[in-house]
Structure 1
Amino acid sequence: MQLSDTQKTLIAQLKDGLIVSCQAKKTDPIYLPEIIEKMAASAIWGGANGLRIDTPMNITAVRVLTKLPIIGLWKLYHKESDVFITPTLEAVAAVIKAGADVVAVDATNRQTAEGEMAYDIIKKIKKHYPDTLILADIRNETEAERALDLGAHMVAPTLYRFDPDAKSTEDPDFNMLARIVKVAQGKGFVLMEGKIHTPEQALESLFHGAHSVVVGSTITRPHLTTLRFTRKMSHYENDIPLYY
């Protein structure tokens, strides 16, 4: 993999570190103006190595707070497709313009609303924004390998819970992580993202070969943390939704 000095520096900054995903929906109980900036400031205070931020508006707001690497994305939902993470080149352009160092995209084997395969966005970014680091959000090792072969610099099983063959939608699948790390050797870097609830699980992710670990709702969205407790204490009567 050919990397510029700037890209090497950014990837090195993330090594063995915690990336905090700072996101909130307007329907969340904690949602307030500037909540994302407060989440980011808290993550920075706590020693995070990087941040994952949704929407150009929030990326712009957080960019002025820090020089830490920002993984930017834009969730755009469409009733005709399950692909929602930065699904178009226009969305990619907006994320880059807002100040993201890395662009996260859906690189699964699913069709976009435009009828293209989600992973085709990687080739478009490589052509139009060759200096931008690409994080491919995938579901399994097959999609990870394809994304890296297409030119993604990093992969993360962010969308693992949407895989019909997912072993668990509530706990991290370290077996899957190990398989992704294996196919990524010599091709790119693996970020572990998805259902990491404890520091011990983050450490286990690094042990299995993750370059760094992304943690979101467990840190930044207390209503979901509460639901994890009450779900188990009520004999699993409540389900955690796939889209949160």
Structure 2
Amino acid sequence: MHGPVFMAAMAQAAEQGGALALRANGPADIAAIRAVSALPIIGILKRWDDRFPVYITPDFAAAALIAAAGADIIALDATDRPRDGEPLGVLIARIRSELGKPVFADCATFEDGVRAARLGADYIATTLSGYTDETAGLKATGPDIALIAALAGTISTPIVAEGRFERPEQLETAFAAGAHAVVVGTAITNPREITRRFVTHARA
């Protein structure tokens, strides 16, 4: 279920269910959601380049596109991996000064989070824990509660828990660890994966 029509409907359903913000990818989806919801939108633009591992809002041009589409907050890859274009600190500064938007830093490690906070990011998220070469071993372990706790205990920037949240009780654990908010993705928005989990459990 992809595309602006589906994403707008999904956003409306999430809002009706009590969501306080929405995360969306690409100008078309963001604009469609903006047309039906006044909730804050955390916008990203995924652009893949075989030369570089960074693909979540990799440059200022991507950030400008999603800001123009209606994103209230700009999320970007804040890992210490090779990227095309401006250094992370310059990109964060330009988004905040030229676009007037807060920056949501998608991190994979403790070091990523501390660095992004130092560079001026407004929110530090655990989004990429388990999704980089360095952290791939964590992908099967559920939400990275240890990373949430470590960051919350070290920096004052709000910590947003994101990645592999599948059950409501996991949110309680994240908040207890110091999370300011929790982003839930696949567990809400992907009917195929939701169905697969139920079928797998039934067959076990």
Change (3 A) 1:145 1:220: same
Q: 1:117 deviation in Å?
A: 4.5
2:110 aligned with 1:141 = yes
Change (3 A) 1:144 1:99: same
Segments of structure 2 that go 5 or more residues without pairing to the other structure are none
Determine helix, strand or coil for the equivalent of 1:105: strand
Q: 1:180 deviation in Å?
A: 1.5
- The answer to which structure has the higher helix fraction is 2
Deviations 1:145-199 (A, max 9, x none): 10011000001011111242455203112111101212222xx111100001011
Change (3 A) 1:213 1:172: same
Q: Is the 8 A contact 2:148 2:161 kept in 1?
A: yes
Change (3 A) 1:112 1:208: same
Question: Which residue pairs with 1:225 in the alignment?
Answer: 194
Determine helix, strand or coil for the equivalent of 1:34: helix
Alignment of 1:90-239 (within 5 A): 90-114=61-85, 117-118=87-88, 120-129=90-99, 131-163=100-132, 164-170=134-140, 171-185=142-156, 188-228=157-197
1:153, 1:109 → 2: CA distance? 18
Q: Is the 8 A contact 1:109 1:119 kept in 2?
A: no
Instruction: State the number of aligned residues.
Output: 202
Question: Which residue pairs with 2:6 in the alignment?
Answer: 35
Change (3 A) 1:139 1:47: same
Q: Is the 8 A contact 1:134 1:154 kept in 2?
A: yes
The amino acid that maps onto 2:184 is V
Segments of structure 1 that go 5 or more residues without pairing to the other structure are 1-29, 236-244
Alignment TM-score, normalising by the size of structure 1: 0.76
Identity level (%):
34
CA RMSD of aligned residues (A): 2.1
Q: 1:233 deviation in Å?
A: 7.4
Alignment TM-score, normalising by the size of structure 2: 0.90
Deviations 1:51-109 (A, max 9, x none): 00100111111101111111011011111111010111011001111111100011110
Q: 1:118 deviation in Å?
A: 4.7
Greater RCO (Cα-Cα under 8 Å, separation 6 or more): 1
The amino acid that maps onto 2:150 is R
1:37, 1:74 → 2: CA distance? 17
Q: Is the 8 A contact 1:180 1:190 kept in 2?
A: yes
Q: After the TM superposition, which parts of structure 1 deviate over 3 Å for at least 4 consecutive aligned residues?
A: 30-33, 116-120, 226-235
Q: Is the 8 A contact 2:45 2:62 kept in 1?
A: yes
1:169, 1:145 → 2: CA distance? 21
Alignment of 1:67-82 (within 5 A): 67-82=38-53
Q: Is the 8 A contact 1:111 1:117 kept in 2?
A: no
Deviations 1:108-134 (A, max 9, x none): 1011134x54554213323423x2110
